Amino acid sequence: MSTQTELLLIYTGGTIGMVEDAETGALHPIDFSQLEKEIPELKKFDCNITVKSLIKPIDSSNMNIVVWQELLEILESNYDSFDGFVIMHGSDTMAYTASAISFLLENVNKPIIFTGSQLPIGKIRTDGKENLITSIEIAAAKENGKPIVPEVALYFEYSLYRANRTTKVSAENFEAFQSPNYPLLAEAGVHIKYNRFAIRKWENKKLIARKSIIDHVASIKIFPGLRRDVFLAIANLPNLQGLILETFGSGNVPSDTWFSEEITRLNERGIFVLNITQCTTGSVIQNKYETGVHLERAGVISGKDMTFEAAITKLMYLLSCEELTDADKRSYLDKNIRGEIS
C-alpha cells in the first residue's frame, strides 16, 4: 500500500479559480485538469493531488445551505480516502462556509484548509498561487504519522487561522482576513511556523457529517433609534427558531421597556436569542452593565467572543441536532464546542 500523501483539492468557485482570456481579457474558470500548467510548482510536492469541483461552481456571494450540503457530501464520501483537503472558495463568504463546515463535520481529525484569493490565479500579481501552494503544504504536513493541523482552518496571505475564528475585513488588501480573538495557527515565511499551542489536538474518532441544516434564523443589528416595529418585523417571522442580536460593546442594548418585553416574548416562544458584540475584538459580558443585565434576565444567551460568522452557523448546526433538547442546545450555544469560544 502506498504511503504517499493523498490530497483532495475541491473547487467551489470564486476568484482563485479564474484565468484571463489572452485575447478578450475576460475571466473564465480554470481547466483544473491543466492545473499544473498554471502552477508548475505543484509538481514538486511529494503527494498525489486529486481535483474535484462542485457540480456548478458559484460566485461565493451566492453561497447557501444547498451548496454546503454538496460540499459536506464530497468531504464525507472522500474522507477515508485522503489525508487532507484544500477547498478553493470565494473570499466574500469563505468565513461563513469555513465556520459552517467546522460545526457540521463532527470529529474532524484531518486538515481541511479553505483558501482563496483577491486576484484571479491567472493574473501576474495574483495572491492565489501562494495561497494555494501553502495551503497544500499545510494540508500535507505530518509529524509522527499524524497531521500537524487536524482541524478546519483558513489560509490567506501567509496566515493560517482557525476557520470559525475568522472574518473578512478588507475587500482589496491581500491581508483580507483576521482572527480577532484567537492567535494564528501558523505563519508562513521562509519556513511555516506552527503555533502548536493554538492547534486542536488529534483525536481518533469517526467523522460525523450533519447535512440537515436549519436556516430559520435571523439577526438584528442594534443601533440608536431602533424602532419597535422594525424589531418586530424580524422577531415576528412565523418560522423563526433562532435570532442573533448584534449589540453594543460588551453586549449592551437600550434599556427601553419594550425591548425587554419583546425579548421575553421571544424566549417564551422557544426562540433561541444569542448576543454577539458589534466590536471587532472583545467579548459579551451580559452582567457588566444594567443595559446588558436585563438581557440575561430575559433569557438571552451570551455569545461571548464568537465572530458573527461562527455564531450564525453554530446556531444553524445546533438547531439541526434533533436528538438534543432545547436545554441542551442552550447549553451548547453558551459553551466552546469547536474552538469557537475562548
Q: What DSSP assignment string belongs to 189-227?
A: SSSEEE-GGGSPPP-----EE-------EEEEE--TT--
Let me know if 24 is a catalytic residue: no
Q: Within this chain, do residues 50 and 69 fall inside the same structural domain, yes or no?
A: yes
The pLDDT confidence band at residue 306, using thresholds 50, 70 and 90, is very high
Average pLDDT rounded to a whole number, residues 8-23: 82
pLDDT of amino acid 32? 66
Residue type, 52: K
Whichever domain contains 14, its CATH number is: 3.40.50.1170
Position 138 in a domain: yes
Q: Considering the chain, what is the average pLDDT of its residues?
A: 92
Domain range holding 54? 5-209
Higher pLDDT, 23 or 168: 168
Of all residues in the chain, the percent with pLDDT exceeding 90 is 78
Instruction: Tell me whether residue 341 is in a domain.
Output: no
Kindly state the helix (H) or strand (E) to which residue 137 belongs, with its residue range.
Answer: helix 128-140
For residues 243 and 321, membership in a common domain is answered with yes
Q: Is residue 340 part of a domain?
A: no
230 and 97 assigned to the same domain: no
Q: How many domains does the chain have?
A: 2
Residue 252 covered by a domain: yes
Strand partners, 11: 53, 88
Residue 248 CA to residue 279 CA, distance in Å, equals: 7
pLDDT at position 34 is 63
Any domain includes 295:
yes
Mark which of 209, 225, 258 sits at the end of a domain: 209
Of the residues 209, 242, 265, the one at which a domain ends: 209
Kindly state the average pLDDT of the residues 296-308.
Answer: 93
- pLDDT score of 301: 96
Q: Which of 55-59, 79-83, 132-136 has the lowest mean pLDDT?
A: 55-59
143 with 19, same domain: the answer is yes
Domain assignment of residue 342, yes or no: no
Note whether 225 and 181 are same-domain residues: no
State how far the Cα of 267 lies from the Cα of 200, in Å rounded to an integer.
34
Q: In this model, does residue 2 exceed pLDDT 70?
A: no
When pLDDT is averaged across residues 53-58 and rounded to a whole number, the result is 89
Higher pLDDT among residues 338 and 296, named by residue: 338
126 and 174 in a common domain? yes
Give yes or no: residues 204 and 230 share one domain: no
Residue where one domain finishes, among candidates 209, 242, 277: 209
Judge whether residue 291 has pLDDT over 70.
no
Residues 166 and 229 in one domain: no
- The C-alpha angle 313, 112, 174, rounded to 5 degrees, equals 80
Put the strands of the sheet holding 217-221 in their side by side order.
Answer: 217-221, 242-247, 272-277, 301-302
Whichever domain contains 298, its CATH number is 3.40.50.40
Residue 120 forms part of a structural domain: yes
CA separation for the pair 169, 281 (Å, rounded): 12
Instruction: State how far the Cα of 188 lies from the Cα of 226, in Å rounded to an integer.
Output: 44
If asked whether residues 143 and 223 sit together in one domain, one would say no
Q: What is the pLDDT of residue 57?
A: 87
Give the span between the Cα atoms of 73 and 49, in whole angstroms. Answer: 19
State whether 160 and 303 are in the same domain: no
Cβ 174 vs Cβ 118: under 8 Å: yes
* pLDDT score of 1 more than 70: no
State pLDDT tens for residues 164-211.
999 999 999 999 999 999 999 999 999 999 999 999 999 999 999 999
Q: What is the pLDDT of residue 33?
A: 63
Residues in the chain: 342
Whether 252 and 171 map to the same domain: the answer is no
Give the per-residue SS3 of 33-98: HHHHHHCHHHHHCCEEEEEEECCCCCCHHHCCHHHHHHHHHHHHHHHHHCCEEEEECCCCCHHHHH
Residue 114 pLDDT level (bands cut at 50, 70, 90):
very high
Catalytic residue among 15, 126, 291, 307: 15
Residue 339 lies in a domain: no
Based on the domain organization, do 43 and 181 belong to the same domain? yes
What was the pLDDT predicted at 261?
93
Distance CA 283, CA 275 (A): 10
